[in-house]
Amino acid sequence: LHFEEDLNITHMYSAEGEEIELFRTIYPTGNVEDWLLDVEKVMKESVKDNIERSLKTYPETARTEWVLIWPGQVVIAGCQTFWTMEVSEALQTGDLGSRLFPKLSSQDDLRVCAVNAEFLYGYEYLGNTGRLVITPLTDRCYLTLTGALHLKFGGAPAGPAGTGKTETTKDLGKALAIQTVVFNCSDQLDFLAMGKFLKGLASSGAWACFDEFNRIDIEVLSVVAQQITTIQKAQEQRALFRPVAMMVPDYAMIAEISLYSFGFSNAKVLAKKITTTFKLSSEQLSSQDHYDFGMRAVKTVISAAGNLKRENPVMDEVLTLMQQCSGHKVI
Ligand SMILES: Nc1ncnc2c1ncn2[C@@H]1O[C@H](COP(=O)(O)OP(=O)(O)OP(=O)(O)O)[C@@H](O)[C@H]1O
Ligand SMILES: [Mg+2]
């Protein structure tokens, strides 16, 4: 937050240093718990106001200019709104539209629809953070999770390490601009701590991602199930987590789009090279614990290459990437 000399709060900053002017200034008086709530309210109003104004100017401004004017989160929300609008318009020219998108009314709040589930955009300010590549697997995970949430269930993505379970869950929270708390569970977690956590969630309306749920002791888990049943009973729903199997992430697509986002123009070919290199290495090198050819390793190489590209934009793209691959501990 930015405080003026007289303590008036005028701007907010993201972790990346993005600045947003607040919709109205606030003066912190009284207890910190109270004025922080006010800050939260103004944060949401400001994001909402930015999105509304950006949507108005979108049709009149060149897209290349428009994306640079507005905060990152606003750009993503705005692009998705227009994309949805244009696709549904195109569908409505056929009769498909009436079945797929029955209602796309122009309400005040931004609404996010996923098949039959409908959510209000949360207007939580997220800063200018990176977002995931939407692959068919991410899409499937989103659809299952939103479908489950619509019925007031939870979701439980399961699968091997590094397939994007945690990140996809967090990314869905970002897509809806809803505060998402990621909690790393361990066998130290007891039902009292969990109870407190759930109380906090219920009163703030935030989402939670209980990462590594499998680590919780089975005895504690049974009480947790009870606690969740109680909460869901309050909403007259049954307790259930809907499973999503996440087996193999779409390496090539994630690599390609991540490379494009770092400014590589030959991303398609490069992505193929890098995924093939990783695939061959994992198949042909002896299996040793310190080898890692998962998605995390691919991401590490790509972000390192991306940083190098930023420092040295004219360097040959293949060289930039190869330098990172060879720097990676195994190749
Ligand atoms: N669709 C995607 N777009 C971009 N990056 C992705 C995508 N899916 C996964 N990743 C990247 O893959 C890496 C592993 O993802 P994540 O941490 O979510 O795995 P996980 O399934 O939770 O693994 P674990 O079981 O070890 O907790 C992260 O660096 C993440 O950014
Ligand atoms: Mg994880």
Paired tokens of 4:
């003026």
Please name which ligand lies nearest the alpha carbon of 167: 1
Tell me the CA–centroid distance for residue 148 and ligand 2, in Å.
20
Tell me the CA–centroid distance for residue 159 and ligand 1, in Å.
11
Q: Is the CB of 133 under 6 A from ligand 1?
A: yes
**pLDDT at residue 331 above 70?**
no
3-state helix, strand, coil in the chain (%, to 5): 55, 15, 35
Q: Is the CB of 165 under 6 A from ligand 1?
A: yes
Closest CA to 76 of 174, 143, 167, 164: 174
How does residue 329 score in pLDDT terms, banded at 50, 70 and 90? Answer: low
pTM for the model stands at 0.71
pLDDT of amino acid 235: 63
CA dihedral sign of residues 132, 137, 139, 141: negative
Tell me the CA–centroid distance for residue 258 and ligand 2, in Å.
20
| Predicted confidence (pLDDT) per residue in 275-307, tens digit | 888 888 888 877 776 677 788 888 888 888 888
| Predicted confidence (pLDDT) per residue in 34-73, tens digit | 889 999 999 999 999 998 888 888 888 888 888 888 998 9
Choices 3.40.50.300, 3.30.420.40, 3.10.310.10, 3.30.70.2860: CATH for 136-245: 3.40.50.300
The fold adopted by the segment(s) 251-327 is Helicase, Ruva Protein; domain 3 (1.10.8)
Side-chain-side CA neighbours of 91 within 13 Å: the count stands at 15
Choices 3.10.450, 3.40.720, 3.40.50, 3.20.180: CATH for 1-121: 3.20.180
Question: Looking at ligand 1, which atom is closest to the CA of residue 160?
Answer: 25
Q: Pick the residue whose CA is nearest to atom 29 on ligand 1.
A: 296
Average model confidence (pLDDT) for the chain? 83
